[in-house]
């Protein structure tokens, strides 16, 4: 580190204000308690305060802000989903993203790149046409393009994929974007805290106080809090919270891994996903290639990463971009993805009165951070599901009314 930078960091003359203040003690009660200091929990706290004037709110985080899937994801933001309900929801989300840096007064590095989902088979082409039609009908910019358009946008791509899986076309989605994930958590946290929300890190919820089917409080490692409204926004930890509450969801937890390369000169200006090759890649503003693949195929609650993953991913990335041979992978990691059977989230009320759920975000929930926060805040404030999340209610599994998003959720699974 340059000496001057170190001197600046240690100097008392230019103190950097903390992002948010953590009170020394938990209050004995809050109007709303949010379990989980990821993007979704913090965004909900922010919109509770901003949209509904509810500021007597505590966000409880077992680790550090954004240390869950929010800080582990590959930040793809898009609305080119498959169901009209999904498209409407994610499109409302993209609209919130567009002004979020200004709103939170923090540079989120929101960068619109365009998003190609490559099709290597006729059946994949059919799905792309289907998505394009639904998207257009809902006013979302998506179109099916031929291989020549892919090549024009990404000259480095090998359209034959080494002769093994030639690219037949793609779904092109102009609004596809990336952002800086941890800034999203900090930005929402700081803005919520400025309006009076209390944020507690290193504060794990260990139990729920439920009497006669109604929530009365939460137990934490630092004592109990009384409250009549609790939101669980804990992603891969959801089964532990629903077990405390005494009901089940169909969520299963699988690891999802990702990695980055050493920084390269800018060459890739779009986001590229191949469902058939199970890989995707974008280039961050720092020049790193941010890459990922499908879920690990086994259910396990773990964030360990594996050599198998990098090996499989690298071989498919090289099918697309042979010139990358020799580029070094410098970091890899995993998150715990809370997967639902229909690849749509679970949002809204639960069988326990006053307990709300924001879960089932699997591999696709980062892009939903703002709109999930906004709609969950409205749901909690009014004790009534927001209209945009009706298709995501827990009861859909009981009623056989699934919201099938598998063809659009992420890379092939």
Interface residues toward ligand PYC, by CB under 6 A: 74, 76, 78, 280, 292, 363-364, 410-411
Task: Provide the minimum distance between the beta carbon of 373 and ligand FAD in the complex, in angstroms, as a whole number.
Answer: 9
Q: Are strands 214-220 and 111-112 parallel, antiparallel or unpaired?
A: unpaired
Q: What are the DSSP calls for 328-343, one per residue?
A: PEEEEEEEEEEE-TTS
Strand order in the sheet with 355-359: 198-200, 57-60, 32-35, 230-232, 355-359, 346-349
Distance CA 39, CA 37 (A): 7
DSSP H or E segment with residue 320:
helix 307-320
Task: Tell me if 228 sits within 8 A of 29, measured CB to CB.
Answer: no
Query: Smallest Cα–Cα separation from 271: which of 112, 87, 67, 41?
Result: 112
Q: Is 205 in the site for ligand FAD (CB under 6 A)?
A: yes
Work out what residue 41 binds among ligand PYC, ligand FAD, none; the CB cut-off runs from 5 to 8 Å by kind: ligand FAD
Task: Provide the minimum distance between the beta carbon of 245 and ligand PYC in the complex, in angstroms, as a whole number.
Answer: 28
Task: Provide the minimum distance between the beta carbon of 381 and ligand FAD in the complex, in angstroms, as a whole number.
Answer: 19
Q: Are strands 346-349 and 355-359 parallel, antiparallel or unpaired?
A: antiparallel
Task: Provide the minimum distance between the beta carbon of 13 and ligand FAD in the complex, in angstroms, as a whole number.
Answer: 34
Task: Provide the minimum distance between the beta carbon of 196 and ligand PYC in the complex, in angstroms, as a whole number.
Answer: 33
**CA separation (Å) from 360 to 16, 139, 192, 308?**
37, 26, 24, 26
Number of residues that bind ligand FAD (CB under 6 A): 38
Extract the runs of DSSP E, i.e. beta strands, from 14-65. Answer: 32-35, 57-60
Using CB under 6 A, which of the segments 62-70, 117-125, 168-176, 223-231 binds ligand FAD? Answer: 62-70
Work out what residue 86 binds among ligand FAD, ligand PYC, none; the CB cut-off runs from 5 to 8 Å by kind: none
Work out what residue 411 binds among ligand PYC, ligand FAD, none; the CB cut-off runs from 5 to 8 Å by kind: ligand PYC
Q: Is 89 in the site for ligand FAD (CB under 6 A)?
A: no
Task: Provide the minimum distance between the beta carbon of 74 and ligand PYC in the complex, in angstroms, as a whole number.
Answer: 5
Provide the binding-site residues for ligand FAD, judged by CB under 6 A. 35-41, 60-63, 67-70, 72-76, 204-205, 233-235, 237, 256-258, 292, 335, 337, 361, 363-367
């Amino acid at each position: 580190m340059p000496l001057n930078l170190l001197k600046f960091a240690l100097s008392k003359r230019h103190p950097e204000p903390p992002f948010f203040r953590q009170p020394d003690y938990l209050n004995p009660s809050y109007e709303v308690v949010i379990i989980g200091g990821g993007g979704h929990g913090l965004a909900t706290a922010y919109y509770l305060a901003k949209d509904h004037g509810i500021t007597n709110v505590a966000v409880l985080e077992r680790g550090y802000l954004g240390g869950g899937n929010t800080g582990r994801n590959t930040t793809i933001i898009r609305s080119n989903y498959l169901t009209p309900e999904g498209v409407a929801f994610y499109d409302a989300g993209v609209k919130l993203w567009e002004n979020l840096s200004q709103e939170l007064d923090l540079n989120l590095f929101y960068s619109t790149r365009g998003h190609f989902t490559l099709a290597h088979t006729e059946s994949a082409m059919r799905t792309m046409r289907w998505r394009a039609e639904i998207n257009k009908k809902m006013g979302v910019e998506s179109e099916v393009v031929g291989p020549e358009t892919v090549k024009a946008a990404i000259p480095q791509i090998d359209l034959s994929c080494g002769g093994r899986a030639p690219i037949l076309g793609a779904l092109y989605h102009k609004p596809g974007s990336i952002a800086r994930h941890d800034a999203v958590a900090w930005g929402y946290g700081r803005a919520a805290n400025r309006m009076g929300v209390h944020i507690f890190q290193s504060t794990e919820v260990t139990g729920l106080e439920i009497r006669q089917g109604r929530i009365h409080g939460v137990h934490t490692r630092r004592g109990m809090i009384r409250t009549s409204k609790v939101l669980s926004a804990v992603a891969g930890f959801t089964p532990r919270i629903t077990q405390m509450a005494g009901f089940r969801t169909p969520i299963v937890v699988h690891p999802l891994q990702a990695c980055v390369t050493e920084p390269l000169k800018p060459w890739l200006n779009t986001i590229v996903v191949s469902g058939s090759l199970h890989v995707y890649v974008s280039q961050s503003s720092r020049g790193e290639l941010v890459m990922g693949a499908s879920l690990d195929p086994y259910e396990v609650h773990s964030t360990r990463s594996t050599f198998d993953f990098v090996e499989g991913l690298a071989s498919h990335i090289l099918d697309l971009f042979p010139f990358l041979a020799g580029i070094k992978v410098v970091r890899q990691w995993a998150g715990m993805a809370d997967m639902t059977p229909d690849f749509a989230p679970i949002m809204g009320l639960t069988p326990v009165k006053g307990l709300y759920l924001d879960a089932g975000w699997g591999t696709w929930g980062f892009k939903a951070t703002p709109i999930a926060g906004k709609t969950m805040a409205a749901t909690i404030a009014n004790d009534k599901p927001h209209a945009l999340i009706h298709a995501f209610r827990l009861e859909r599994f009981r009623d056989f009314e699934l919201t099938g998003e598998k063809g659009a959720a992420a890379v092939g699974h």
